[in-house]
Structure 1
Amino acid sequence: MVFVPAARPPQHYERVQEWTLESAADVSRVRTEIADCAAGTGDWDPDVPEVLDRLVLVCSELASNALIHARPPVCVGLETSPSRFLVDVSDDVLSTSPVLEHRPDDGDGGLGLTLTSALASSSGWYVSGGRKHVWATFIKRAAVPVGTVPQGDAGGR
């Protein structure tokens, strides 16, 4: 069993939008709306559309995980900094820690956090205000290699 790193996300993000999800039906709506909100910021590289594809997939996986393993409401937030997007998904079940599953052959799902780890430039989780938050960041521009943290974009929240 591999646990997701317990860490707060980098600082200096501005909230773009927040959604409250009550059921799995809300995940589809949020997928569309988060893509539109991120694209609407205008400060990402349109020549690298996979940035938004990755953000939407990870948001969908994290929100679905929270709805399956916790109880509604699940909150999803989109934040932005000059070089990155941040997706934050929270629920109120504090008794479990996020775990990376590696079950490629069983077809029963359970790979949401593994996908997050593979597709995001950084990720982690923390508890605040009675909620467990799982977060992931995405580099906006192809010129910034995955795994690097631009000056002023690191640190705890």
Structure 2
Amino acid sequence: AETCPVVSFSVSEDEFRGLPASQLVGQLGCWTYFQSIKSDANAKFVKDFQDWLAKSTVPGIVKENRVTCSPMVLSYNGVYLWKAAVEKAGSFEPAKVMEALKGGISFDGPGGKVTSQKNHHLTKNVYIGETRADGQFKILKEYKDVVGEPFLKGTYK
């Protein structure tokens, strides 16, 4: 990592549970969420997950060394954005909910503020982190309110 760090867009904290994290120190990750984000919303999310995990009786669930990760937060945000859209639409009817989402609904999630766009993509924070020996990421850089683009600009017309 010191001479040639690798940037991963698909390895999160949860995958590190099965890897020798101490040998991966210094590698980089780019996600819209890391468990190490310092915020009240994230602290609550992590605590709620750990509390749920401690009580869970779901067959086959792995409890040892479990952490939160970006795919979990993406699902969590999706549920709360849908809830806000249903409330704004005053209906569960899909067309009305989709129309409400076009209006720019925001939710303060564990990774920061998430806002829906007319193109059905999201505006959200993006983080670059460096792996630590404990399997977590040290946040090196935060990019606030990154607008989601369905394609690279100028690539498709």
Task: Give TM class, smaller chain.
Answer: under 0.3
Which has more helix, going by share of residues?
2
Bigger Rg, structure 1 or 2:
2
Which has more strand, going by share of residues?
1
Q: TM-score, normalised by structure 1?
A: 0.25
Q: TM-score, normalised by structure 2?
A: 0.25
